[in-house]
Structure 1
Amino acid sequence: MSERVINFGAGPSALPESVLNEAAAALLNFNGTGIGIAEISHRSKEFSAFLVETEGLIRTQLDIPSTHSILFTQGGGSAQFSAVVLNLLARYRLLHPDQDDAVMDYVLTGSFSKKAVEEAQRLGGARVNVAADARAQSEDGKSFNNVPSQYSFSPDPALIYYCENETVNGVQFSDDVSSPTSFPFHLLPQNALVPLVGDYSSSFMSRPITRLTDHAVIFAGAQKNIGPAGVTILIVRKDCLVDVDAAAKLGAAPVPCTMSYKTLADSGSMYNTPSVLAIYISGLVLRRSAQLGGVQYYQETNTKKAAKVYAAVAEGEARGVFRGKVKEGHRSLMNIVFDVVGDEAKFVSGAEAAGIKGIKGHRSVGGIRISLYNAVTEEQTDTLVAYMKSFT
């Protein structure tokens, strides 16, 4: 087998080698059963116990209270663009059976929140209000390079969606609530159960979730920081586990059983066969995370890694070889984006010759994207930084 390279890909992304080795052994024999993890029944006592353990690892490391359920499902973040609309419109219908003027608020900060807006508009059932559009604050009026500073939330929305970290555009809300680039929790409607939806697909388990208990739904595809593609993790406040069939009788859109949060919760995430292998590898990653110190450990190390790469970008800007894309103070710790002023293909090919892969920007925006997910080490980051400094 050829030597492994350094993987800065945006997802599916790098996983810890120790986890890969353990998972490889379990492909032949999971937990002493004599059956591989990709073959074993999801209803076996061994896997059922592992699923409970994995849920507990998430709950403990993120300090999730009993007011919220943890669910495992499929379809990635894109499926949740639909599911959050259907479930929270059902909730709204049950709360307001005689109202036909529901509105959904969206904060638009990049490619994935744009996809979420488009899916909400496609599904219909309520008016979509773009409560903030970051493009309005960019120099050209069309770039996603900042966190908005002006918001217009509705007084009683069915949901309020935001994407905490934009994987494509490299924009992230600050976790310091006193920062002007933090999410504006203080502007939300002042009722006890705000229907706030946080898309954490590319930052989940990389640092604590700011004001987690204020969220109605948090969702994340696993394939960035905690596992392979195939499983999506949800944190759902229990008042959002609603009877979607009862809501449909009142006029809400029918919700497929596999997308109903209540169905998922009532079945222990086993209404249908879950992504057994993806959950297993995610559980191994979460075990390792707990041993290292959890999200607090990763917040510290990810901050160090990002500081090194941003310093290298700034040094390259001074030399005239790089150009940053995101305003300072609005930049992601997870996905660092910049342009190569000269020969981008030369930069990419030189990196690959040095054993560095996965750095090309998303096809929709081009440029370079360095994804510093949890499994990327400081030593690997230093190798990248040395290459960046040597590039001419």
Structure 2
Amino acid sequence: MSRVINFGAGPSALPESVLQEAALGLLDFDGTGIGIAEISHRSKQFTAFLNDVESLICTQLEVPPTHSILFTQGGGTGQFSAIVLNLLARHRLLHPDLANEDRVLDYVITGSWSKKATEEARRLGGGRVNVVVDARPYSKDAKSFDNIPPHNTYTFSPDPALIYYCENETVDGVQFSSDVSSPNSFPFHLLPQEGLLPLVADYSSSFMSRPITRLADHAVIYAGAQKNIGPAGLTIIIVRNDCLVDVDAAAKLGAIPVPISMSYKTLADGNSVYNTPPVLPIYISGLVLRRMKELGGVQYFEQLNKRKADKLYAAIQAGEDKGLFKAKVQEGSRSLMNVVFDVIGDEAKFVAGAEEKGMKAIKGHRSVGGIRISLYNAVTEEQTDAIVEYMKQFVSDTDTQGQA
């Protein structure tokens, strides 16, 4: 069987060596004679493996002891709800007499997913949503998500229940810079300066692709696994321990009741096996994390991913110079993970030509169209070189035909 190059945005490519190892584990996990998809989540073998996965994340991301790692289901969309409910419960315990209309939820909107997260916060209620900044007015057409807004446009609340941002927007190809001195970085220096910040970050499409900027300052970091480290079905949450609150006590004071499977404290107290976790995705993610460690961890992949993205953006620029490609995102705000651009002219021909060469899943998200090439960790530099070479050839062929 011939495998193609998968540039899909998720579920995304996984390392072939991991898939081969996982196939063996489906038949026999850790010498038990039971496949990983069949074994009890409370068995000593799986419990040991789960602890190892937690350690691999903590070590590679340098997670401080003030934070816990949780494994659950629901994906990023499930966390849109969970972060609101858990942090409203925390805020209720801290400020029991505050009226709901005086509880503020701060949201930074830089793309489709942060927009959806904001809409879910409004739907759940329990507090007033403050849009700290919306990137669309600062776009080239005043309506698209193509930028990280200037720092002087952010308006944070003095004591919000949560402060949310999405580190990398998978649909729109927009990402905060990891350089805190960059004007395209998240403005940590503008956050309220007193107390433990209720800072929440969605890292779903960039988790484990590079170190997390100022991780210790976050209350919650969450990520669906299906971009960089595993198959769909697993959500990884890094939560500061002061956010592991008694949600039932908060409900008695008037907070919105939190479903038991969404309670961070319940998950933490149960060591992520309060109910059956997504065992198979955890197993495959663990194999990916072991491989990452052997290769040099997130620092290795940060450099690799930057090289891949630089090559791809250079190819887009070369096509743009010829009037055949158009980058969608402003310089400085461009994602290392999800590279988006338009083909000026025959986009269908471009997609078909790539598929003929075994390069698939490059069409943009249905909501925005265009081309999207995702460069997650499992996409190799050689595979990136292949799409870059195809883009150069497409530009050359089209340019020659235009001159004929």
TM range, smaller chain = over 0.9
Measured after TM superposition, the shift of residue 311 of structure 1 is: 0.2
Question: 1:3-22 alignment to 2 at 5 Å?
Answer: 3-22=2-21
Measured after TM superposition, the shift of residue 141 of structure 1 is: 1.5
Task: Please name the residue that 2:402 is paired with.
Answer: none
Give the Cα–Cα distance (whole angstroms) in 1 for the partners of residues 361 and 380 of structure 2. 15
- The answer as to 2:157 corresponding to 1:154 is yes
Q: Choose the corresponding residue for 1:346, options 315, 328, 349.
A: 349
Q: Secondary structure at the match of 1:107?
A: strand
Give the Cα–Cα distance (whole angstroms) in 2 for the partners of residues 358 and 140 of structure 1. 27
Give the Cα–Cα distance (whole angstroms) in 1 for the partners of residues 81 and 374 of structure 2. 26
Question: 1:299-378 alignment to 2 at 5 Å?
Answer: 299-378=302-381
Residue identity opposite 1:127 in structure 2: R
Deviation by residue 1:169-189 (Cα, 9 ceiling, x = unmatched): 000000000000000000000
Give the Cα–Cα distance (whole angstroms) in 2 for the partners of residues 192 and 227 of structure 1. 35
Task: Please name the residue that 1:90 is paired with.
Answer: 89
Alpha-carbon contact 2:140-2:146 (below 8 Å) kept: no
Measured after TM superposition, the shift of residue 148 of structure 1 is: 1.1
Question: 1:257-276 alignment to 2 at 5 Å?
Answer: 257-276=260-279
Give the Cα–Cα distance (whole angstroms) in 1 for the partners of residues 234 and 32 of structure 2. 23
Task: Please name the residue that 1:26 is paired with.
Answer: 25
Give the Cα–Cα distance (whole angstroms) in 1 for the partners of residues 384 and 327 of structure 2. 18
Deviation by residue 1:188-213 (Cα, 9 ceiling, x = unmatched): 00113000001000000000000000
Residue identity opposite 1:43 in structure 2: R
Give the Cα–Cα distance (whole angstroms) in 2 for the partners of residues 319 and 351 of structure 1. 19
Question: 1:202-221 alignment to 2 at 5 Å?
Answer: 202-221=205-224
Task: Please name the residue that 2:182 is paired with.
Answer: 179
Q: Secondary structure at the match of 1:27?
A: helix
Q: Choose the corresponding residue for 2:251, options 245, 248, 251.
A: 248
Q: Secondary structure at the match of 2:27?
A: coil
Task: Please name the residue that 2:292 is paired with.
Answer: 289
Measured after TM superposition, the shift of residue 139 of structure 1 is: 2.5
Question: 1:232-243 alignment to 2 at 5 Å?
Answer: 232-243=235-246
Residue identity opposite 2:17 in structure 1: S
The gaps in structure 2 that reach 5 residues or longer are: 399-404
Measured after TM superposition, the shift of residue 321 of structure 1 is: 1.1
Give the Cα–Cα distance (whole angstroms) in 2 for the partners of residues 5 and 320 of structure 1. 29
Residue identity opposite 1:305 in structure 2: K
**TM-score normalised to the size of structure 2?**
0.96
Measured after TM superposition, the shift of residue 271 of structure 1 is: 1.0
Residue identity opposite 2:50 in structure 1: L
Question: 1:72-111 alignment to 2 at 5 Å?
Answer: 72-100=71-99, 101-111=102-112
Residue identity opposite 2:232 in structure 1: A
Question: 1:48-87 alignment to 2 at 5 Å?
Answer: 48-87=47-86
Task: Please name the residue that 1:165 is paired with.
Answer: 168
Give the Cα–Cα distance (whole angstroms) in 1 for the partners of residues 318 and 31 of structure 2. 53
Give the Cα–Cα distance (whole angstroms) in 2 for the partners of residues 251 and 192 of structure 1. 23
Measured after TM superposition, the shift of residue 232 of structure 1 is: 0.2
Residue identity opposite 2:117 in structure 1: A
Alpha-carbon contact 2:76-2:224 (below 8 Å) kept: yes
Alpha-carbon contact 2:164-2:201 (below 8 Å) kept: yes
**TM-score normalised to the size of structure 1?**
0.99
Give the Cα–Cα distance (whole angstroms) in 2 for the partners of residues 257 and 319 of structure 1. 56
Question: 1:371-386 alignment to 2 at 5 Å?
Answer: 371-386=374-389
Deviation by residue 1:30-88 (Cα, 9 ceiling, x = unmatched): 11000000000101110000000000000000000110000001010000000000000
Measured after TM superposition, the shift of residue 319 of structure 1 is: 1.3
Q: Secondary structure at the match of 1:70?
A: strand
Give the Cα–Cα distance (whole angstroms) in 2 for the partners of residues 130 and 285 of structure 1. 37
Number of residue pairs the alignment of both structures matches: 391
Residue identity opposite 2:169 in structure 1: E
Alpha-carbon contact 2:14-2:229 (below 8 Å) kept: yes
- The answer as to 2:35 corresponding to 1:36 is yes
Residue identity opposite 2:112 in structure 1: S
Q: Secondary structure at the match of 2:159?
A: coil
Task: Please name the residue that 2:123 is paired with.
Answer: 122
Alpha-carbon contact 2:176-2:185 (below 8 Å) kept: yes
RMSD of the alignment, in Å?
0.5
Give the Cα–Cα distance (whole angstroms) in 1 for the partners of residues 331 and 67 of structure 2. 34
Q: Secondary structure at the match of 2:163?
A: strand
Q: Secondary structure at the match of 2:216?
A: helix
The gaps in structure 1 that reach 5 residues or longer are: none
Residue identity opposite 1:137 in structure 2: Y
